[in-house]
Amino acid sequence: MNRREFLFASAVAAAGLTGSAVPALAKQGRRRDKLGIALVGLGYYSTDLLAPALQLTKNCYLAGIVTGTPAKISKWQMKYSIPDKNVYSYSNFDDIANNPEIDIVYVVMPPSLHRDFAVRAANAGKHVFCEKPMAMTVGECESMIAAAAANKVRLAIGYRCQHDPNIQAYQAISRDRKFGAPVLLSSVAGFYDPRSNNWRQVQALGGGSVRDMGIYAIQAARMATGEEPVSVLAQASTTRPAIYKDVDETMQFLLEFPSGARASCMSSFGVEMNYLNVNYERGWLRMNPHSQYNGNKGDMSDGKVIDFFIANQQAKQMDDDCAAIMSRGKFIAPGEEGLRDIRVVEAVYRSAATRGLVTI
């Protein structure tokens, strides 16, 4: 501890300050070339994608882990040289407030836990990255945004696709009206899941194809039109009722936008599909695939292609977001962006339940 840090700590102790105020203030005086990220939840996405991506980043690094499975700890520590002091359980997670090596908490858990850990991380004075879907309800999203604002920390949603130059390219085409206004869209995202005991099949954990895969279909339609949908008509179905008795295996839904554009969307755990088709007034665009981890590409009615190289979506996402934190710039996908999607998700489920048109 240098003299400045010692004087600050002494002043804090004398004033009797505790809780989230301490790390939030301490962080303002700390300068590093890289921000430390702690991953909360060490399932597939953290293990196979985020942790490897953090070995490629230039603005951040893997500083810590939070897990409810003690057996995983030693393997992660040996592989990534994580010290004991940067390892937390779900029960002592709030102690992360006292760890200056961790700047960002990345919540990578089933959706039902997103709000709780995002709010706790914000209260600990840490910036928050949260995987999609942002939360279970609009109300939970709003509480996450409010917690970040109250603690003067930043909240970003892990929308890796929005950092992909291929997705950014088709957004620009629609925004610049290269082919006129978008009129009819088809946006789908799904895969065949053979499992019968995954959290995706449990309503209480945030399962269902719309929350997991439908987010991609919704985002594609929103980004391609540049508008927010005003109504939805949805229908759920399943070919495996014994497995998908609690949540939707497949959901088909029609979104209408203020301009009159309409998007036919579909999400599924029973069909392999991943594309976006946009018919404009004077042309068309096809993205196939649209939301893969790599290799997203497209072609257009004028013969031009969209095929930009990106080495690693997750690394670019985290680097972009950390650069925004360090420069106090804007996030590509802040909490408000996740809220917009969950507002549509809620409307899709209401429409499926009532079998009628729902205004968003």
137-148: burial string, b at 16+ Cβ within 10 Å, e else = ebebbbbbbebb
Residue-level pLDDT at 105: 98
Q: Which domain-ending residue is among 106, 125, 157?
A: 157
251 and 281 assigned to the same domain: yes
Write the pLDDT tens digit of every residue in 211-246. 999 999 999 999 999 999 999 999 999 999 999 999
Side-chain-side CA neighbours of 75 within 13 Å: the count stands at: 8
CATH code assigned at 8? 3.40.50.720
Residue-level pLDDT at 334: 98
Cα gap 289→40, rounded to integer Å: 29
54 and 143 assigned to the same domain: yes
Residue-level pLDDT at 294: 87
Cα gap 64→241, rounded to integer Å: 40
Which residues constitute the domain of residue 341?
Answer: 162-310+335-359
215 and 352 assigned to the same domain: yes
Residue 355, domain member (yes or no): yes
342 and 193 assigned to the same domain: yes
Put simply, whether the predicted model's pTM sits higher than 0.85 gets the answer: yes
Residue-level pLDDT at 13: 37
Residues in the chain where the model's pLDDT stays below 50: 1-31
Residue-level pLDDT at 283: 97
175 and 126 assigned to the same domain: no
Number of domains into which the chain is organized: 2
The partner residues of 276 in beta bridges, in order of sequence, read 187, 287
107-124: burial string, b at 16+ Cβ within 10 Å, e else = bbbbbbbbbbbbbbbbbb
1-23: burial string, b at 16+ Cβ within 10 Å, e else = eeeeeeebeeeeeeeeeeebebb
Residue-level pLDDT at 57: 98
Encoded tokens for 18: 């505790």
71 and 179 assigned to the same domain: no
200 and 283 assigned to the same domain: yes
Residue-level pLDDT at 16: 36
26 and 117 assigned to the same domain: yes
Q: Which domain-ending residue is among 105, 127, 157?
A: 157
The number of beta carbons lying within 10 Å of the beta carbon of residue 180 is 11
Residue 318, domain member (yes or no): no
Pure H helices in the chain: 3-15, 21-28, 44, 51-53, 73-80, 114-123, 138-150, 165-175, 209, 215-225, 313-327, 335-354
178 and 142 assigned to the same domain: no
